[in-house]
Amino acid sequence: MSNVHLRRTQLEDLPFVTALERHPGNRDLIGQWSDAEHRAAIDSQDHREHWLIERDGQRAGYLIAYDCRAQDAGFYVKRILVSDKERGTGTAGLRAFLESKAALDGVSCVWLIVRDNNARAQAVYRKLGFERFDPAQEEARRFDTAAEPPHEGCFRMRRVKPSA
């Protein structure tokens, strides 16, 4: 059984993160950030969090999230990317992130944006309790302002924090 956990990304992890993001197999699937954008998230600027996903003690991926609690929009998972697909690393990393946020005050939900044609990711998110989320216009504006609106060909998925 492999051991997957999260730790805060450090500046010395940046070459791994950018090489993974800019790998030809990932470039068309995921947004591209400059080193400066990654450094800002690593430094927790603008309520961003940058997490390294480790598997068996080795760098295996990363996750970027925005703390949107001030806008009553929970946490937004901006990006999750792993080096070895189909091994459960991304699922375990996202599960660890969800568990780390579950007990925090003001976390009504965790949400993300997924492409319409990314059935594999949608299945993983559903397995973790996410459901399609198409908010009414006023609520959509709040989420858009807290993080970003879905681009064409994408939609939101949300996991609501269970009531105590």
Token match 């309520």: residue? 47
Would you write out the chain's pLDDT as a tens digit for each of its 164 residues?
Answer: 469 999 999 999 999 999 999 988 887 778 889 999 999 999 999 999 999 999 999 999 999 999 999 999 999 999 999 998 878 899 999 999 999 998 888 888 999 999 999 898 999 999 999 999 999 988 999 999 999 999 999 999 999 975 54
CATH of the domain at 80: 3.40.630.30
* Cα distance between residue 103 and residue 48, in whole Å: 19
Q: 138: domain range?
A: 4-160
- H/E element, 7: strand 4-8
Q: For the chain, how many helices (H) and strands (E)?
A: 6, 7
Indicate whether this model's pTM tops 0.85. yes
Cβ atoms 61, 80 nearer than 8 A = yes
Number of domains in the chain: 1
Query: For the chain, how many residues are written?
Result: 164
C-alpha neighbours within 13 Å on the C-beta side of residue 137: 0
